[in-house]
Amino acid sequence: MAYPSESTEQAALAAHAPVRAATAADTAAGTAARLVAAPADAAAASALLGEAARLRLSVLPRGNGTKIDWGAPPRSCDLIIDTAALSGIDHAAGDLVVRAGAGTPFAELRRVLADAGQRLSVDEVVPGSTVGGVVATGVSGPRRMQHGPVRDLVIGMTVLGHDGVAASSGGRVVKNVAGYDLAKVQAGALGTLGLIASVTFRLHPVPPALRVVRAESDDPGAVGAWAAALRRSQVMPTAVELDWPGGGPLSLRVLLEGTGQGVAERADAVAAVLDGAKTEDAVPADWARPPGGPDDTLLEFAVPLAEVLPTAARLHDAGAAAGASVAVKGSAGCGVLYAAVPAGTAPDAVQRLLLLLRDGMAAGSATVRRAHPDLHAAGLEVWGEVPGLALMRAVKSGCDPDHRLSPGRFAGGL
């Protein structure tokens, strides 16, 4: 069978949107793209996907590209569809609901909502993210402890399928939850099930008062005792975050939100638990950011609450054994930890560290969120053992029968 040439493909795609040849910057975890298209709206994106299906091209959706290296390297990437123009905000303030285009900068959405005294209770973990990127990666930040992960705040979504056909679920009103699960399954799927065109979220009012109580210790056991005491208490924190830089003391920050008097009383109760506690009136600008730099290997752990501090300690010890200073940040309130292994650490050392940690986990998961292409080339196991993989394969085959959407980026090569 004869296949279209690249020039023929580009011409066919250009009937629907501007298309250019990819550059060295157009990669995903080391996989180079061939073409990049920038549709003007969802209708053009739909037409592009339909044309890509006819041409049998593999497709990777991309917002601002801040997390394009997360997950496993795609097996191929014939076409990147840039979603920047799929933007816009429709805020129904009276219903505490907002609909935002996938290409909308997440920071812009937060500003618009804040001007109305409302918020989407999801922290911007990676600066420069788009709405679609936040949902596609499923990353939520510290406030997940009280408000749940981003998928729990999604009440509707419009997704363009592998063939460009649009499917919508949910609605603008919170009680309208038809198709709710279909929207939720897209969260964290890394663009392997469809191209997210827009998302509808439920919102919360911005609390009138905020207080952060912070304490430090060189003893992980002491910090673990603080976290356990907070879990048994009635203070109802919005977030409980730990931060353990490589080669420094471990700090615990407790975020409290609500009415002024209530927050002050709860802050006093927290300070009575934490030795040497200090009170702050704002969260640090980088408190939701993962540890490390953009070239470090970023690991994510989901563990039972009682295992958060023991896991953090094992990370430090395993890093030291591998000759690497591992920085750890994450939630002592919902059991999600991030660890940064310094760039330049030998691939076999990263593999050993990850294997050691996975073997020592009685429950939970250990995932490589981001790694240098050299580590992927060395065979880094990104996902580990994945429960429910058979169901995931069935969902993938139902949504993308030819496996052309971000192929191989998700668990099990999906």
Give yes or no: residues 172 and 122 share one domain. Answer: yes
Cβ neighbours of residue 107 under 8 Å, at least 6 residues apart?
124, 127, 128
Give yes or no: residues 197 and 170 share one domain. Answer: yes
Q: What is the CA radius of gyration of the chain?
A: 22
* Domain CATH number, residue 146: 3.30.465.10
Residue 275 within any structural domain of the chain: yes
Give yes or no: residues 98 and 232 share one domain. Answer: no
pLDDT of residue 184: 79
Give yes or no: residues 157 and 274 share one domain. Answer: no
Residue 223 within any structural domain of the chain: yes
pLDDT of residue 171: 62
d(CA 401, CA 192): 11
Give yes or no: residues 33 and 176 share one domain. Answer: yes
> Tens-of-pLDDT digits for all 414 residues of the chain?
445 666 788 999 999 999 999 999 999 999 999 999 999 999 999 999 999 999 999 999 999 999 999 999 999 999 999 999 999 999 999 999 999 999 999 999 999 999 999 999 999 999 999 999 999 999 889 999 999 999 999 999 999 999 999 998 876 544 444 444 667 789 999 999 999 999 999 999 999 999 999 999 999 999 999 999 999 999 999 999 999 997 789 999 999 999 989 999 999 999 999 999 999 999 988 899 999 998 999 999 999 999 999 999 988 888 888 788 899 999 999 999 999 999 988 888 888 888 888 888 878 889 999 999 999 999 888 998 888 888 889 999 999 999 999 999 998 888
Residue 292 within any structural domain of the chain: no
* Domain CATH number, residue 324: 3.30.70.600
Give yes or no: residues 217 and 201 share one domain. Answer: no
Residue 414 within any structural domain of the chain: no
DSSP 306-375: GGHHHHHHHHHHHHHHTT---EEEEETTTTEEEEEEPTT--HHHHHHHHHHHHHT-SSSEEEEEE--HHH
Residue 119 within any structural domain of the chain: yes
pLDDT of residue 204: 97
Give yes or no: residues 273 and 403 share one domain. Answer: no
pLDDT of residue 148: 92
Give yes or no: residues 162 and 227 share one domain. Answer: no
pLDDT of residue 2: 46
Boundary-marking domain end, from 253, 280, 307: 280
pLDDT of residue 364: 86
Sign of the dihedral through C-alpha 75, 17, 194, 83 = positive
Instruction: Write out the residue range of the structural domain in which residue 139 sits.
Output: 1-206+386-409
Residue 194 within any structural domain of the chain: yes
Boundary-marking domain end, from 280, 307, 331: 280
Give yes or no: residues 214 and 200 share one domain. Answer: no
3-class DSSP assignment, residue 199: strand
pLDDT of residue 53: 96
Residue 288 within any structural domain of the chain: no
Give yes or no: residues 319 and 221 share one domain. Answer: no
Q: How many domains does the chain have?
A: 3
Residue 352 within any structural domain of the chain: yes
Give yes or no: residues 341 and 395 share one domain. Answer: no
Give yes or no: residues 14 and 71 share one domain. Answer: yes
* Domain CATH number, residue 258: 3.30.70.260
